[in-house]
Amino acid sequence: MLLVGTCGFKSEAILLVFDKKIKEVVHMWKLLSSLLLTSVIALTLTAGLSFAKGPKPKPGKVEVCHVPPGNPFNAHMIVIAGYAFESHMTHGDTEGPCPEP
C-alpha cells in the first residue's frame, strides 16, 4: 500500500508539472499566432496602401504622350487601352497629347 501511495503522489506531481507546461505552451502559441496575424494584417494594409498611390486604370481608351525608354526625343501620341494606363505612367509617359516641340 505504501508503495502505491508513493507512486500515486509522484504521478500526481508529474501530471501537475505536465499540465503547467502544457498551459505555458498554449499561452506561447496564442501569443505567437496573434503576433503573426497582426503582422499579416499590417503587411496587407501596407501593400494595399502602396498600390493606392499610383495612377488608376482608366475605362476605355486613353491618349498618352508615349516617351520611348532611352529615346526621349521620339515622344509621340498613342492611344492605349485603359488597363495599360498605369504601366505607361510608371515609365514616364503622360496623359494627353505631347507638347509641341
The pTM for the full model equals 0.43
Q: What are the tens digits of pLDDT across the range 61-71? A: 999 999 988 88
Higher per-residue confidence, 58 vs 84: 84
pLDDT exceeds cutoff 70 at 55: no
**Any idea where the domains of the chain sit in the sequence?**
1-53, 61-95
pLDDT exceeds cutoff 70 at 50: no
The C-alpha angle 57, 78, 54, rounded to 5 degrees, equals: 25
Query: Furthest-apart CA pair in the chain: how many Å?
Result: 107
Mean pLDDT for all residues in the chain = 80
Q: Return the C-alpha cell found at 87.
A: 504601366
Taking residue 62's Cβ as centre, other Cβ atoms within 10 Å add up to 20
